[in-house]
Structure 1
Amino acid sequence: MISKDSQEQTLVSHLEALRTALIHCFVALGIGIIPMFLLSSYILDWFSAELVAQSGATLHYFSPMEVFLLQLKIAALMDCVICSPYIAWNLWKFVLPGLYDNERKFVRSIVWMTSGLFISGVVFCLGICFPLVVRFGMSFESETLQPIFGVENIVTLALWLSLAFGCMFLFPLVTYALIRSGVVYYETVCHARPYVVVGILVLAALLTPPDIISQLILGAPTYLLFEAGLFAARKHKGEQFKECNEENSPVHVEAESGSLSQKKSQNSHDATFGESEDVDFAAPASPYQVGTERNADKWKPN
């Protein structure tokens, strides 16, 4: 039994390890913010030239400190992105001792799949969705209406759309995890497909600007990814069904019954042999007892 002092010492050591990991993470973020701020102006120029200018729009700023504060936001965001592998590594070192081997493999696979899907969503947003949204906004230009886009509004829109697409691209992973863990059944999700479609459209409407183009651009790939998650869950279910059939096959059952009968006969033989070993030949109770004929001359009736 673990004493109270040992438990307190273990808790303190865990807290110290967590404190060390957090200090390393914050130091890395503090060091990285300086070069990221120096690069933020180039990132903003690239954003204006590659993602906005190709739609025929120009960016403007409306206050003296707007661009400076925007560069600080971009530097902080890029600092978090660049330092995220180091932060994840420190957190992984803290969590690793408390995990079993199967849990470590599961966490590794989840982290890699989550990162890949989120990055895919961001790339899809900046490469396809965001230019279409800007062109859609430019389509309302007329002789009396001229578009003037503020740089902070456009950058905030791009960041918000990137976050929304990255999160929505995690939808198949959530679907697969829920079905595989048994929280919901595959058949239940299939029957609820119309409600899932409505839910995807509602989420797309909440996470995107109030226009039908952005909603459809986010909703359509999300639904396709939902179907991909269902396909992966069905494939996993088929593998489980195949394993179950192999376990319940006649050959497997016959082999198991044979092994069980062999074990039963072995146990009965061992029990019989054990009982025979418990016979005391030195003090026989009767000359007619099996195995005591050699002691018959020593036996006398009471």
Structure 2
Amino acid sequence: MSISSKSEHDQEMPLVAHLVELRSRILRALLVILLIFIALMPFAQDLYTWVSAPLRAYLPEGATMIATGVASPFLAPFKLTLMLSLFLAVPVILHQVWGFIAPGLYQSEKRIAIPLLISSILLFYIGMAFAFYVVFPIMFGFFASVTPDGVAMMTDIGQYLDFILTLFFAFGVAFEVPVATFLMVWIGILDLQTLRDSRPYVIVGCFVVGMLLTPPDVFSQTLLAIPMWMLFEVGIFAAALVCRSAKHPQNLPSEHL
């Protein structure tokens, strides 16, 4: 981006001032995370009971989750509360990022960036909700149904937490596919027709990503790959609409839409 495209305030701000502002915004984000953590910590045990419900619903009668580590009964809820604080602070974190980069953007770029920022936050939370309310019940129900005879299904609370946090993050990031697709078209990295022609490779790539980001079972891999593919199509559709209405250089003739 050329210097002339920036605001006068941004032109006059030296490097040290930029670093000071960056430090200030990082500290604000950390402070919000800390405040949320302090507010949630009294409910740490209840929060763990809530997130473990999808698994406990499929445990055999009389079976419970177990803690194999001495400090696990404390550390698992503590870690969960800390991660939830981070997830809940995502809007504030992105707002601080936006406040730092906004002065260097064109006005037209700001009009696109704000909806993208809001969409990113919503899609991340939707991805986590999809994992919790759709994927977890199906997956844990399957695991419980294939438990061999003579084997007691009693999951360690620490291993369960690591397992679901990985899935939360994987689905949250995966649901950002429409935003990433739109940005690639908008800034000119790829054009719409190239993305359309790449569908077969994208589908394969979605399943590869599902294999890498989820536990080694076909159910969670498929439940991540298929939404990623569908969200890729949503991103193409949104980019086509915006590029057409704005007469962007990447716009395609109407017969291709």
How does the TM-score come out when normalised to structure 2? 0.81
Count matched residues.
237
Alignment pair present for 1:40 and 2:47? no
TM-superposed deviation, 1:147: 1.6
In structure 1, what residue type is equivalent to 2:172?
Answer: G
Decide which moves more: 27-36 or 126-135.
27-36
Map 1:249-260 → 2, pairs under 5 A: none
Which structure is richer in relative contact order (CA contacts within 8 A, separation 6 or more)?
Answer: 2
1:20 aligns with 2:30: no
Does residue 85 of structure 1 match 2:91?
yes
Which residue of 204, 220, 238 corresponds with 1:232? 238
Does 1:156 pair with 2:162?
yes
Does the aligned pair in 1 maintain the 2:207–2:221 contact within 8 Å? yes
Match of 1:111 in 2: 117
Check the 8 A contact 2:59/2:154 in 1, yes or no: no
Alignment correspondent of 1:291: none
Structure 2 residue matching 1:72: 3-state secondary structure? helix
Any conservation in 1 of the 2:90–2:121 contact (CA below 8 Å)? no
Q: Which residue of structure 2 lines up, in the alignment, with residue 63 of structure 1?
A: 69
Letter in 2 for 1:185: D
Distance apart, 1:91 and its partner CA? 3.8
Change in 2 beyond 3 A, CA 1:128/1:182: same
1:146 pairs, out of 123, 147, 152, with 152
What's 1:52 paired with?
A: 55
User: How far has the Cα of 1:47 moved from its partner?
Assistant: 2.0
Q: Of 95, 98, 104, which aligns to 2:104?
A: 98
Q: Once the 2 structures are TM-superposed, how far is the Cα of residue 244 of structure 1 from its aligned partner? A: 9.7
Q: Rg larger in 1 or in 2?
A: 1
Q: Could you tell me how far 1:217 is from its partner in structure 2? A: 1.0
**TM-score, structure 1 normalization:** 0.70
Shift of the 56–188 alpha-carbon distance from structure 1 to 2, 3 Å rule, reads same
Q: Deviations over 1:129-163 (max 9, x none)?
A: 01111111111224322222111111211111111
Match of 1:10 in 2: 14
Q: Percent of aligned positions with the same letter in both sequences?
A: 28
Runs of 4+ in structure 1 over 4 Å off: none
Seen in structure 2, the aligned counterparts of structure 1 residues 217 and 237 have a Cα distance that, compared at 3 Å, is same
Query: Which whole-Å CA distance do the structure 2 matches of 1:157 and 1:18 have between them?
Result: 33
Gaps spanning 5+ residues in structure 1: where? 1-6, 246-302
Q: CA RMSD in A?
A: 2.6
C-alpha offsets along residues 196-251 of structure 1, whole Å, 9 cap, x if unaligned?
Answer: 1111111111111111111111111111111222222333454439x999xxxxxx
| Alpha-carbon distance in 2 for matches of 1:160, 1:181 | 31
Return the letter of the residue paired with 2:51.
Answer: F
1:53, distance to aligned residue in structure 2 (A)? 2.3
Taking the aligned partners of 2:182 and 2:97, their CA distance within structure 1 comes to 25
How far the C-alpha of 1:121 sits from its partner, in A, is 0.7
> 1:165, CA displacement in angstroms?
0.9
Equivalent position SS for 1:56: coil
